[in-house]
Amino acid sequence: MAFVRVEQRNAHLAGSVRLDTVTGRDGKIARATFIAISNTRRGAGEQRQEEAASIRWTAWGRQAENAAEYLGKGSHVNIVGRLRNNNYQDAGGADVYGLNFSADEIDYLDSKADSDARRERHTFVDEVNAAEARHPAPGKAQPRTAKA
């Protein structure tokens, strides 16, 4: 299998980092997935156009745990990783072709203050959403409950 190195520079996260645990040959390991977007410019003069590249990355182990703790929507990062084939046959015998991007290095480009402010903002939004779910505003549809 060929080794293809991928670099994504000056990217920002399109959403939050999703952290879960998978069971592999060596036991359970943390896996984080996230989408990073970077803009590139092509052409010159009036033909110059901006093009966005979005890549879904996977990080593993301690790096995945750190990404989930310190990164959030809008975080700025540089990522170096590798591209791997993920080809397999489905239950019907049809070939399925896919590519995986695995992060080997993640550079956190935001300052600690920016990261803390983003985390506080998201925590506040989560708390407001939870409170609204418990006590909906008047005029909003009330969830139905089963009658005894």
As a CATH number, domain 4-110 is: 2.40.50.140
SS3 34: strand
Which residues pair with residue 21 across a beta bridge? Answer: 30
Plot region of 26 (φ>0 → left; ψ -120 to 50 → alpha; else → beta): alpha
Determine the average pLDDT of the residues in 42-60.
86
For residue 34, pLDDT beyond 50: yes
The predicted pLDDT at position 75 comes to 93
Residues 25 and 47: beta-carbon distance below 8 Å: no
pTM of the prediction? Answer: 0.69
Determine the average pLDDT of the residues in 57-63.
96
Residue 90 phi/psi, 5-degree rounding, is: -80, 180
Task: Give the pLDDT band (50/70/90) at residue 92.
Answer: very high
User: Which position has the higher pLDDT, 3 or 123?
Assistant: 3
Residues 75 and 35: beta-carbon distance below 8 Å: no
Interatomic CA distance for residues 75 and 115, integer angstroms: 7
103: number of CA atoms within 13 Å, CB side?
Answer: 28
User: What are the boundaries of each domain within the chain?
Assistant: 4-110
Neighbours of 137 (CB within 10 A): 6
Task: Give the pLDDT band (50/70/90) at residue 99.
Answer: confident
Q: 31 is written with which tokens?
A: 């896996």
